[in-house]
């Protein structure tokens, strides 16, 4: 099926008139009169547009409006500002202490106080000190564990040369040779030079996007979704899709009411998603008997006709944004060949209905509880794509289901 011409026009054409604004998909942020992407390369024009949008939302912007404002203000895409928001979870410290019959002000939960299995306790005791504390449930960027995990992830991605999420001996050797510069050893300075990004905004040479590229990617739902998606406590939106091999279809609602469901949304051209996806597979192996897992393949984040990544080019991950369902299915097949997912992979329609329903571009994770309600929504990928945080929410969701 080929995308209707009107949809192509809506997704790809620059905003330059009131008529263009009316053609935009649902969720498009409010825009100032005469908004023109071509003019936003001028920082003064971009700042004026951002001021107008902020005023229109009166301090309560949608997620997509926050992203647009951040792009217009030239803020770094590093997860520290309105570009990508934090995760939302039902499972707070107050929720867990209440379940264990403790006051929300309790400093810790011991093994004896914990109302659950020893295995669940061990998984929730993130720092391994023999008790669960608020810090174990804290996934903010200020948390020491999260900071250390981010450094390790950066190191891993530098060493994972083919970005398949698996580090081989050959890749380790190649990384050592690159870092050491031909020496028989590597120093801390060598590592710092290799791991601390140099270049515009921390991007590798050739990968830093212009404001124009980012804006086009934004309105095409490549760097983010225009719709906000369900909130924690909302019923999970239903959808009907076919698998990448076209051998199976699923009605998402049919999975509800039995056990928790993990929903993964992502795409092939997002390098961080490729690198971190094997973590999701590890979680799938640990919990596949107790929860349903499925992935929905969504719109490409870095097609060669959009925000092109030089690293993708070097690795042969070079695809245009699919214009037919067959083309998208073919690229999803490439993803499956490279990453070898064990969970079922379904392909979103060309109108991005599921990606929009769940605000899933370029990547996102959800835990749906046994009653079909959203219990956890990750931050937007790649910076909000934290497999460990999702697994913790899943463990708590399974804990919650035990008492019902």
User: pLDDT tens, 143-202?
Assistant: 999 999 988 998 898 899 888 899 999 999 999 999 999 999 999 999 988 887 666 555
Other CB atoms within 10 A of residue 307 CB? 23
Q: What is the pLDDT of residue 200?
A: 56
Over residues 352-379, the mean pLDDT reads: 96
Q: What is the pLDDT of residue 396?
A: 98
Reply yes or no on whether the pLDDT at 297 is more than 50: yes
Q: What are phi and psi of 209, to 5 degrees?
A: -85, 150
- Long-range own/partner contacts, residues 82-88 (CB < 8 A, 24 or more apart): 83/383, 84/379, 84/380, 84/383, 84/384, 85/379, 85/380, 85/384, 86/139, 86/140, 86/379, 86/384, 87/139, 87/376, 87/377, 87/378, 87/379, 87/384, 87/386, 87/389, 88/231, 88/232, 88/376, 88/377
Reply yes or no on whether the pLDDT at 19 is more than 90: no
Reply yes or no on whether the pLDDT at 52 is more than 70: yes
CA distance linking residue 125 with residue 369, whole number of Å: 22
**pLDDT band per the 50, 70, 90 thresholds, residue 250:** very high
Q: What is the pLDDT of residue 214?
A: 92
Report percent pLDDT > 90 for the chain. 73
pLDDT tens readout for residues 253-294: 999 988 999 999 999 999 999 999 999 999 999 999 999 999
Reply yes or no on whether the pLDDT at 390 is more than 50: yes
Q: What is the mean pLDDT of the chain?
A: 89
Reply yes or no on whether the pLDDT at 124 is more than 90: yes
CA distance linking residue 320 with residue 331, whole number of Å: 10
Over residues 306-322, the mean pLDDT reads: 91
CB-CB contact of 132 with 108 (8 Å)? yes
**pLDDT band per the 50, 70, 90 thresholds, residue 387:** very high
For 89, the token pair is: 């979870």
Do β-strands 344-347 and 292-297 pair in parallel, antiparallel, or remain unpaired? parallel
Assign 308 to helix, strand or coil.
Answer: coil
**pLDDT band per the 50, 70, 90 thresholds, residue 102:** very high
Report percent pLDDT > 70 for the chain. 89
CA distance linking residue 382 with residue 226, whole number of Å: 17
Over residues 197-221, the mean pLDDT reads: 79
Q: What is the pLDDT of residue 196?
A: 79
| Whether the model pTM is above 0.75 | yes
Q: What is the pLDDT of residue 383?
A: 82
- The CA distances from residue 142 to 89, 135, 149, 253, in Å, are 18, 10, 12, 37
Q: What is the pLDDT of residue 8?
A: 37
Q: What is the pLDDT of residue 404?
A: 58
Q: What is the pLDDT of residue 22?
A: 44
pLDDT tens readout for residues 68-98: 999 999 887 666 666 677 899 999 999 999 9
For 61, the token pair is: 């912007």
């Amino acid at each position: 099926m080929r995308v209707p011409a009107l949809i192509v026009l809506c997704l790809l054409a620059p905003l330059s008139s009131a008529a263009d604004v009316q053609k935009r998909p649902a969720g498009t942020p409010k825009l100032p009169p005469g908004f023109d992407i071509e003019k936003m390369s001028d920082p003064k024009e971009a700042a004026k547009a951002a001021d107008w949008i902020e005023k229109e939302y009166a301090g309560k912007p949608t997620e997509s409006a926050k992203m647009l404002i951040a792009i217009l203000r030239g803020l770094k895409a590093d997860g520290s500002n309105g570009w990508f928001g934090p995760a939302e979870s039902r499972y707070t410290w107050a929720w867990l202490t209440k379940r264990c019959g403790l006051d929300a002000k309790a400093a810790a939960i011991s093994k004896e106080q914990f109302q659950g299995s020893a295995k669940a306790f061990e998984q929730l005791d993130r720092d391994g000190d023999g008790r669960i504390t608020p810090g174990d449930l804290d996934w903010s960027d200020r948390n020491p564990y999260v900071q250390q995990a981010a450094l390790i992830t950066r190191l891993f991605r530098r060493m994972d040369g083919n970005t398949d999420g698996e580090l081989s001996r050959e890749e380790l050797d190649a990384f050592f040779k690159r870092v050491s510069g031909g020496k028989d050893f590597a120093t801390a300075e060598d590592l710092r030079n290799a791991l601390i990004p140099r270049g515009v905004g921390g991007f590798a040479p050739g990968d830093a996007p212009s404001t124009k590229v980012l804006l086009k990617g934004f309105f095409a739902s490549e760097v983010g979704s225009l719709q906000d998606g369900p909130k924690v406590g909302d019923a999970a939106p239903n959808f009907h899709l076919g698998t990448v091999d076209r051998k199976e279809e699923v009605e998402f609602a049919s999975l509800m009411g039995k056990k928790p469901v993990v929903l993964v949304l992502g795409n092939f051209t997002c390098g961080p998603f490729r690198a971190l996806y094997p973590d999701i597979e590890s979680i799938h192996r640990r919990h596949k008997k107790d929860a349903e897992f499925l992935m929905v393949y969504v719109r490409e984040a870095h097609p060669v006709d959009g925000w092109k990544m030089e690293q993708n080019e070097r690795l042969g991950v070079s695809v245009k944004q699919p214009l037919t369902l067959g083309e998208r299915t073919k690229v999803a097949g490439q993803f499956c060949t490279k990453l070898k997912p064990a969970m079922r992979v379904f392909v979103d329609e060309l109108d991005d209905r599921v990606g929009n329903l769940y605000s899933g571009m370029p990547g996102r994770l959800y835990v749906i509880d046994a009653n079909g309600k959203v219990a956890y929504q990750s931050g937007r990928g790649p910076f909000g794509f934290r497999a460990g945080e999702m697994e913790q929410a899943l463990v708590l969701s399974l804990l919650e289901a035990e008492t019902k």
